[in-house]
Amino acid sequence: MGLAEIVRAVGDRYLRTRKTTPFQRKALWMIQLCRTAAMGSVSAVCDDCGRERRTFRSCRNRNCPRCQAEARSAWLTARESELLPVPYFHVVFTVPEVFNTIALYCPEAFYAALLRAAGNALLDVGRVKLKARMGCLTVLHTWGQNLSLHPHVHCVVPGGGFSLEGSRWVSLRNAAYLLPLNVLRARFKTLLCQSLYEAIRSGELARLPRPENPWQIIAKAATQQWIVYAKQPFGGPEQVLEYLSRYTHRVAISNARILSFAEDKVSFRWRDYADGHRSKIMTLDALEFLRRFLLHVLPDGFVRIRYFGFLGNHHRHSNIEAARKLIGCSLELRFRQRPKLPVLCAVCYACRDSGRDNGRLSARDRPPPPVTRTASHVV
């Protein structure tokens, strides 16, 4: 059981009874067609027996849990050449829940401001405290483990940066300590509130419903507690890549977490961080499950992975080469080759997997149910 089967079962009813945005309707339409006859098929050769077979195409929608493995692998391969032989840190920026109204009605403006505030806060504090021009990678996540709306930004930050004049590499005085979190928190709050004030003046928050006052929302958020925390540095560049793979192309819920779908009820596994990271099971009505999932479908074209500082897109490669020379490492780091998933026909998959799955085929190899197009699916 996966997300696509749930969308096929109740997607029409959801579209008839709930308001949706064009990009939410597009996501539902693509997810339910993923790896079905409607997407067409391609020829594939089994790695075990050499038998040729036809496989259905994937939808490649960034909200589909089936379609992220290939994109993640290609992205990580491209990032290998950009890592430096320095400690890397994971910093997370979160915002008060009162901002959720702005995130729901004005996602493009709010999430762009959130990413800018997180990235620029790291650069500003690094310039003052470390006397260095730093760089960082930022990844937007909008969900909590129970699919509630919980916007936050994950940042991966190299430990160090260019000196302000650019002539040398500034290393950390303490390899286990990046920047003071209280200063980061204050700067992040200031930058985000300033960006939202500018968005109000430019009309970017005009879609808020009439009773909601954006000035009051920002003022209320400024009085609440903002959380910024940093985890311990990674063990090395290879650990950075493995860690990034869990964050960069993640969707709100994976098929592995969905346990059952019966009688219009969806049960899924989630981790309660407030209760000692304990694993729990939540059961929701199928329509409520879809509503929560669609909260995290971003507008088309919105870039949720962004780079700041010397890792910015325009001069990233030249900056990385200069940083290696200043650090004293001119060669690219070498990584072990990541295993490639085998392409197996249904017979070979059943033979290989019979010891642990009683011969059952995976969702990838089972023929999907037929999908018929109805008027309610038109985007």
Report the first-to-last Cα separation within the chain, whole angstroms: 26
Q: Where would I find the beta strands (DSSP E) of the chain?
A: 41-45, 52-56, 88-94, 132-133, 135-143, 149-158, 161-163, 169-170, 228-230, 258-262, 265-272, 278-285, 305-309
- What integer pLDDT is reported at residue 239 of this predicted model? 77
| Token pair for 36 | 């079905």
Residue 48 sits in the same domain as residue 164? no
- What integer pLDDT is reported at residue 370 of this predicted model? 42
Query: Is residue 232 one of the residues assigned to a domain?
Result: yes
User: Is residue 352 pLDDT above 90, yes or no?
Assistant: no
Q: Name the band, by pLDDT with cuts 50, 70 and 90, for residue 232.
A: confident
How far is residue 317's CA from residue 205's CA, in Å, rounded to a whole number? 36
Residue 51 sits in the same domain as residue 174? no
Query: Is residue 284 one of the residues assigned to a domain?
Result: no
Residue 112 sits in the same domain as residue 242? yes
User: Is residue 356 pLDDT above 90, yes or no?
Assistant: no
Of the listed ranges 4-18, 46-60, 115-129, 293-307, the one predicted with least confidence:
46-60
Q: Exposed, middle or buried: residue 73 (CB in 10 Å: 0-12, 13-18, 19+)?
A: middle
DSSP of 181-197: HHHHHHHHHHHHHHHHH
- What integer pLDDT is reported at residue 175 of this predicted model? 78
- What integer pLDDT is reported at residue 66 of this predicted model? 87
Amino acid of residue 285: D
User: Is residue 378 pLDDT above 60, yes or no?
Assistant: no
Residue 151 sits in the same domain as residue 7? no
Residue 304 sits in the same domain as residue 359? no
User: Is residue 334 pLDDT above 70, yes or no?
Assistant: no
User: Is residue 376 pLDDT above 90, yes or no?
Assistant: no
Q: Enter the pTM of the model.
A: 0.86
- What integer pLDDT is reported at residue 129 of this predicted model? 95
Residue 102 sits in the same domain as residue 224? yes
pLDDT in tens, 194-227: 999 999 999 999 999 988 999 999 999 999 989 9
Question: 3-class DSSP state for residue 275?
Answer: helix
- What integer pLDDT is reported at residue 364 of this predicted model? 42
Q: What is the mean pLDDT of residues 57-61?
A: 87
Beta bridge partners of 89: 157
Domain that holds residue 30: 3-64+343-369
Q: Exposed, middle or buried: residue 60 (CB in 10 Å: 0-12, 13-18, 19+)?
A: middle
Closest CA to 169 of 330, 324, 308: 324
DSSP of 206-265: TTS-TT--HHHHHHHHHTS---EEEPPPPSSHHHHHHHHTTTTT--SS-GGGEEEEETTE
In this structure, the number of other CB atoms found within 10 A of the CB of residue 120 comes to 19
- What integer pLDDT is reported at residue 359 of this predicted model? 38
- What integer pLDDT is reported at residue 354 of this predicted model? 59
User: Is residue 82 pLDDT above 50, yes or no?
Assistant: yes
* Domains of the chain: total: 2
109 in Cβ contact with 204 (< 8 Å): yes
For residues 374 and 16, which has the higher predicted lDDT (pLDDT)? 16
Q: What is the mean pLDDT of residues 64-76?
A: 83
Residue 232 sits in the same domain as residue 351? no
Residue 23 sits in the same domain as residue 96? no
How far is residue 35's CA from residue 58's CA, in Å, rounded to a whole number? 5
- What integer pLDDT is reported at residue 217 of this predicted model? 96
Bridge-based pairing of strands 41-45 and 52-56 is: antiparallel
Share of the chain above pLDDT 70, in %: 88
Residue 121 sits in the same domain as residue 244? yes
Q: Name the band, by pLDDT with cuts 50, 70 and 90, for residue 333.
A: low
- What integer pLDDT is reported at residue 339 of this predicted model? 61
Residue 15 sits in the same domain as residue 111? no
pLDDT in tens, 129-179: 999 999 999 999 999 999 999 999 999 999 999 999 999 999 998 878 899
Mean pLDDT of the chain: 86
Residue 18 sits in the same domain as residue 77? no
Q: What is the mean pLDDT of residues 32-49?
A: 85
What DSSP state is assigned to residue 370?
Answer: P
Of the listed ranges 226-235, 287-296, 307-316, 361-370, the one predicted with least confidence:
361-370
Question: 3-class DSSP state for residue 136?
Answer: strand
- What integer pLDDT is reported at residue 365 of this predicted model? 42
Residue 175 sits in the same domain as residue 47? no
